[in-house]
């Protein structure tokens, strides 16, 4: 091993950071100081990048060009001033801001990271002492980064992963795959490529590591052990550049929200995207598909199931037994425009399934092949033919501008002009296993192995643009199964084709929380399970009790016996299911508020309890609970035959209310709550103000608005201010300032509660009065907007605003 390859020295110092090179000049390393708590380390061989652009890093941006951003463009960052010291004797360089320090050993370029806590520099992470990188290829093909591993470290994130929320001790592969019916504890990889994780150390420090690389990679979080190197973890990418970001934070929230900002703003979806979305492959695969879908409409009315949209599975595109994107099967749907209009008349939007691979006998295959719109083989001459569903075909290449235009045109002409409201971007994992197959690369051919997850990202961007260009006033709404960091800029997603089981119910909660801890907030699951046997009544209703609290709420299935998961599949439980789904509509103002906060402030919608209460050590114990926003604690039932639920109440210094009984509890204890079929065990933090839709909810009235505020006063003393965001829920007028805030202030003492409500903004509210509710056991004197009121058993208090 040549020493010159491993010894570095300062090459240049600029306002953006410090650049190093090795003695032979074959390798340089840049340490960029991007923000006070955010550094970046970039390795380049011969001053050259393998991939010139980034599609993942888009600080605070709603969109970026198809070609990506220049990887060396630092203009979105504040580039704060930094200090540095070098020691010739020790062969070290130290670079630091007021919050973060990189201490670098120039022999081998080993970095130790420190954060300043209470005025003292505290070590949070470090490269492994032995062979931290593979500068000379000695560790194998691709790029490696080995770091020390604290045996009490807790690792979270990595996006959509199975098993426990704490990733310590497992090895994960980062690669888009279609594992239908996956095991919720063990299967890996799944559908998404999210190369980011956050760490909580033994000393209770938090930091995040993000690798801006879209090649297939491995994250070993302590599964491997080698006596020569101590305890370690590593990152290995098969190709591409070693380009990583270090984020320190006061808690998990600061790390996650910084990462969310780093990869782009979460899109503001239409409000109807929060409603129940019906779906099943069985209906559109049937020969009488249109008839079955009309029956779905009738059943929603009959059983009083509020439904806002329906996902039109790919059976609508069939020719024989196979599926052909942008082809309407006219024997199943003789008049698509009338069919869509009939659904619209009932207030139900349609989301059409589209796939980025054309089967080899697709009517348009030869035409697109001739125009070079597919991913090509390694020679770049012929399309790369791969397995897709029940045949072979070729994937569209979204790094080709001509393909993008063709896609947008067909989304418009074959879907949007028919009245389709949304695109469901499905089966977009791009399972091309020849790493040197060629993508167009916008005129600079590039191996698919380097950018595979970018293809689904650009697919959803093209679908997003088609919808926006078709109707510039409306917000686009789309769904994507596969993706990578940045997908939040365009879409809603779900945890893929899960298998019907109690384990799936339990562990899908953790998989969804893993996505939320990785900057992907609009998440949900196939409620009831997608593949395998149909759920029995108990499992089905427990799935629904859990699903109604997720941002995406969809019941979707492909059961082995061809049965269909629908709310009325079991007559004996249809009443409690109707109650639960109508309760979901009641909560939509709260969920929409959280959507706004995810867009405006990069905050996740669902969160682990430790995210909200990091000072309570018991919240770090693996559990099945989660927070919805700041104030609602959901305790789903995830075990068969259980009719009461033990719930640990995090210590919050405020106390808790049982949502259903309104009984109060101190934090820091475990309580037992009833868990009947018609309600989910649900706790509300004292001091919370929860906005609700206070209109009677039925199938017909699901879109009618009345506003109420459920006030949960501090048990003794405290003050709260809640600002409810309101807009029309559908257009882009909010970007022009057309919105209104309704501000609710609640001041509590031991003797009285004073509430003041006012509005400010330009959006005309669909209501002139609001109702205020207090727990029925509240005995203090209550004043609302200065007037003393009497509440008894949640008497409605109406206030004009």
CA distance 63 to 12: 33
Q: Is the pLDDT of residue 571 over 50?
A: yes
Domain assignment present for 579: no
pLDDT of the residue at 3:
47
Interstrand relation of 17-22 and 120-126 (parallel, antiparallel or unpaired): unpaired
Residues in CB range of 59: below 8 A, 6 or more apart: 76, 77, 261, 262, 264
- Segment 689-744, tens digit of pLDDT: 999 999 999 999 999 999 999 999 999 999 999 999 999 999 999 999 999 999 99
Q: Quick one: three-class SS letters along 130-186?
A: CCCECCCCCCCCCEEEEEECCCCCEEEECCCCCCCCCCCCCEEEECCCCCCCECCCC
Compute CA distances 679 → 234, 726, 739, whole Å.
44, 28, 33
- Segment 310-346, tens digit of pLDDT: 999 999 999 999 999 999 999 999 999 999 999 999 9
Domain assignment present for 583: no
Taking each helix axis as running N to C, give the angle between helix 454-470 and helix 401-414, from 0 to 180 degrees, rounded to the nearest 10. Answer: 50
- Segment 590-649, tens digit of pLDDT: 999 999 999 999 999 999 999 999 999 999 999 999 999 999 999 999 999 999 999 999
pLDDT of the residue at 139:
77
Domain assignment present for 386: no
CA distance 272 to 421: 11
pLDDT of the residue at 778:
92
Residues in CB range of 568: below 8 A, 6 or more apart: 299, 302, 303, 305, 574, 577
Q: 369: pLDDT confidence band, cut at 50, 70 and 90?
A: very high
Q: Is the pLDDT of residue 794 over 90?
A: no
CA distance 323 to 389: 9
- Identify the domain boundary among 230, 263, 296: 263
Average pLDDT, the chain: 96
Pair of tokens at residue 470: 């078709």
Q: In which residue are the tokens 């070590």 written?
A: 123
CA distance 174 to 192: 8
Q: Give me the mean pLDDT over the 132-158 stretch.
A: 92
pLDDT of the residue at 123:
98
Q: Is the pLDDT of residue 370 over 60?
A: yes
Taking each helix axis as running N to C, give the angle between helix 574-601 and helix 537-547, from 0 to 180 degrees, rounded to the nearest 10. Answer: 30
Domain assignment present for 31: yes
CA distance 451 to 239: 10
Domain holding 726: CATH number?
Answer: 2.60.40.1180
Domain assignment present for 567: no
Q: Nearest 10 degrees: CA dihedral of 402, 471, 761, 260? A: -30
Does residue 159 contact residue 514 with C-beta atoms inside 8 Å? yes
pLDDT of the residue at 2:
39
Strand partners, 626: 634
Q: In which residue are the tokens 């996902």 written?
A: 311
Q: 1: pLDDT confidence band, cut at 50, 70 and 90?
A: very low
Q: Is the pLDDT of residue 508 over 90?
A: yes
pLDDT of the residue at 5:
61
Compute CA distances 15 → 34, 75, 81, 262, whole Å.
10, 12, 7, 20
Pair of tokens at residue 782: 């209550």
- Identify the domain boundary among 240, 263, 286: 263
Pair of tokens at residue 201: 């150390």
Q: 135: pLDDT confidence band, cut at 50, 70 and 90?
A: confident
Domains held by the chain: number: 2
Q: Is the pLDDT of residue 400 over 70?
A: yes
Q: Give me the mean pLDDT over the 518-533 stretch.
A: 98
Domain assignment present for 595: no
Domain assignment present for 609: no
Domain assignment present for 247: yes
pLDDT of the residue at 282:
93
Q: In which residue are the tokens 């990418």 written?
A: 237
Compute CA distances 204 → 56, 84, 200, 262, whole Å.
29, 26, 6, 23
Domain membership of residue 749 as a residue range: 705-801
Q: Which helix (H) or strand (E) holds 87?
A: strand 83-87
- Segment 187-213, tens digit of pLDDT: 999 999 999 999 999 999 999 999 999
- Identify the domain boundary among 202, 232, 263: 263
pLDDT of the residue at 795:
67
Taking each helix axis as running N to C, give the angle between helix 336-345 and helix 289-302, from 0 to 180 degrees, rounded to the nearest 10. Answer: 0
CA distance 166 to 775: 37
- Segment 452-477, tens digit of pLDDT: 999 999 999 999 999 999 999 999 99
pLDDT of the residue at 791:
65
Q: Give me the mean pLDDT over the 85-96 stretch.
A: 96
Pair of tokens at residue 593: 């508020």
Q: Which of 173, 156, 154, 176 is nearest to 165 (CA)?
A: 156
Domain holding 26: CATH number?
Answer: 2.60.40.1760
For the chain, percent of residues with pLDDT exceeding 90: 96
Q: 790: pLDDT confidence band, cut at 50, 70 and 90?
A: confident
Q: Is the pLDDT of residue 116 over 70?
A: yes
Q: 73: pLDDT confidence band, cut at 50, 70 and 90?
A: very high
Q: Give me the mean pLDDT over the 504-527 stretch.
A: 98
For the chain, percent of residues with pLDDT exceeding 70: 99
Would you give the distance in Å from CA 346 to the centre of its chain? 30
Q: Is the pLDDT of residue 650 over 60?
A: yes
């Amino acid at each position: 091993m040549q020493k010159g390859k491993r010894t570095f020295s300062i090459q240049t110092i600029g306002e953006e950071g410090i650049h190093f090179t090795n003695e032979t000049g074959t390798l340089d390393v840049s340490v960029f100081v991007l923000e006070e708590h955010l550094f970046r380390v970039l390795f380049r061989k011969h001053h050259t990048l393998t991939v010139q652009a980034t599609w993942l890093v888009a600080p605070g941006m709603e969109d970026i060009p198809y070609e990506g951003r220049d990887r060396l463009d630092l203009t979105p960052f504040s580039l704060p001033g930094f200090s540095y010291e070098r020691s010739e004797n020790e062969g070290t360089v130290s670079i630091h801001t007021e919050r973060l320090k990189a201490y670098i050993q120039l022999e081998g370029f080993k970095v130790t990271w420190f954060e300043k806590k209470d005025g003292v520099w505290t070590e949070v992470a470090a490269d492994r002492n032995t062979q931290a990188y593979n500068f000379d290829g000695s560790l194998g093909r691709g790029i490696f980064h080995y770091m020390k591993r604290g045996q009490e470290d807790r690792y979270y994130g990595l996006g959509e992963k199975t098993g426990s929320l704490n990733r310590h001790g497992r090895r994960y592969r980062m690669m888009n795959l279609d594992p239908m019916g996956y095991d919720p504890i063990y299967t890996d990889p799944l559908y998404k490529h999210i190369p980011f994780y956050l760490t909580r150390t033994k000393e209770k420090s938090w930091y995040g590591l993000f690798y801006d690389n879209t090649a297939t990679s491995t994250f070993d979080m302590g599964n491997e052990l080698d006596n020569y190197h101590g305890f370690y973890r590593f990152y290995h990418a098969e190709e591409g550049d070693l380009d990583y970001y270090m984020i320190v934070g006061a808690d998990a929230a600061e790390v996650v929200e910084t990462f969310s900002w780093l990869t782009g703003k979460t899109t503001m979806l239409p409000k109807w995207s929060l409603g129940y979305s019906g779906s099943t492959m069985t209906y559109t695969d049937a020969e009488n598909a249109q008839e079955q879908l009309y029956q779905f409409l009738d059943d929603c009315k009959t059983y009083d199931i509020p439904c806002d949209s329906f996902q039109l599975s790919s059976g609508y595109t069939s020719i024989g037994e196979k599926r052909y994107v942008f082809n309407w099967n006219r024997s199943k749907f003789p008049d698509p425009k009338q069919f869509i209009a009939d659904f619209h008349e009932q207030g139900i939007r349609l989301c059409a399934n589209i796939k980025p691979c054309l089967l080899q006998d697709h009517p348009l295959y030869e035409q697109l092949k001739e125009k070079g719109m597919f991913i090509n083989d390694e020679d770049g001459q012929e399309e790369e033919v791969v397995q897709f569903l029940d045949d072979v075909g070729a994937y569209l290449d979204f790094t080709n501008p001509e393909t993008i235009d063709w896609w947008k045109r067909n989304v418009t002409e074959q879907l949007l002009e028919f009245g389709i409201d949304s695109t469901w971007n499905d089966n977009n994992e791009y399972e091309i296993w020849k790493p040197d197959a060629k993508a167009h690369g916008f005129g600079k051919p590039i191996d698919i192995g380097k950018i595979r997850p970018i293809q689904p990202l650009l697919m959803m961007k093209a679908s997003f643009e088609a919808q926006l260009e078709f109707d510039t006033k409306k917000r686009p709404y789309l769904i994507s199964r596969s993706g990578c960091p940045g997908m939040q800029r365009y879409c809603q997603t779900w945890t893929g084709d899960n298998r019907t089981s109690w384990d799936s119910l339990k562990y899908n909660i953790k998989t969804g929380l893993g996505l939320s801890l990785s900057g992907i907030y609009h998440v949900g699951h196939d409620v009831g399970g997608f593949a395998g046997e149909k759920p029995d009544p108990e499992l089905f209703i427990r799935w629904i009790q859990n699903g109604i609290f997720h941002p995406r709420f969809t019941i979707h299935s492909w059961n082995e016996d061809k049965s269909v998961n629908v709310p009325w599949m079991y007559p004996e439980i249809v009443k409690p299911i109707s109650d639960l789904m109508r309760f979901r509509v009641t909560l939509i103002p709260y969920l929409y508020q959280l959507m706004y906060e995810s867009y405006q402030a990069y905050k996740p919608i669902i969160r682990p309890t430790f995210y909200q209460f990091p000072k309570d050590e018991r919240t770090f114990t693996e559990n099945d609970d989660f927070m919805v926003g700041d104030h609602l604690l959901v305790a789903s039932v995830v075990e068969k035959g259980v009719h009461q639920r033990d719930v640990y109440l995090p210590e919050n210094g405020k106390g808790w209310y049982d949502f259903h009984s309104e009984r109060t509890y101190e934090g820091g204890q475990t309580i037992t709550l009833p868990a009947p079929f018609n309600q989910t065990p649900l706790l509300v933090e004292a001091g919370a103000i929860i906005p609700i839709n206070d209109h009677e909810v039925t199938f017909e009235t699901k879109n009618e608005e009345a506003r109420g505020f459920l006030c949960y006063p501090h048990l003794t003393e405290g003050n709260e201010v809640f600002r409810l965001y309101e807009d029309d829920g559908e257009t882009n007028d909010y970007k022009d300032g057309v919105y209104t805030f309704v501000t609710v202030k609640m001041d509590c003492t031991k003797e009285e509660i004073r509430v003041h409500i006012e509005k400010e903004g330009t959006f005309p509210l669909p209501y002139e009065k609001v109702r205020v509710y207090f727990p029925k056991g509240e005995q203090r004197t209550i004043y609302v907007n200065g007037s003393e009121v009497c509440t008894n058993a949640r008497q409605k208090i109406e206030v004009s605003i």
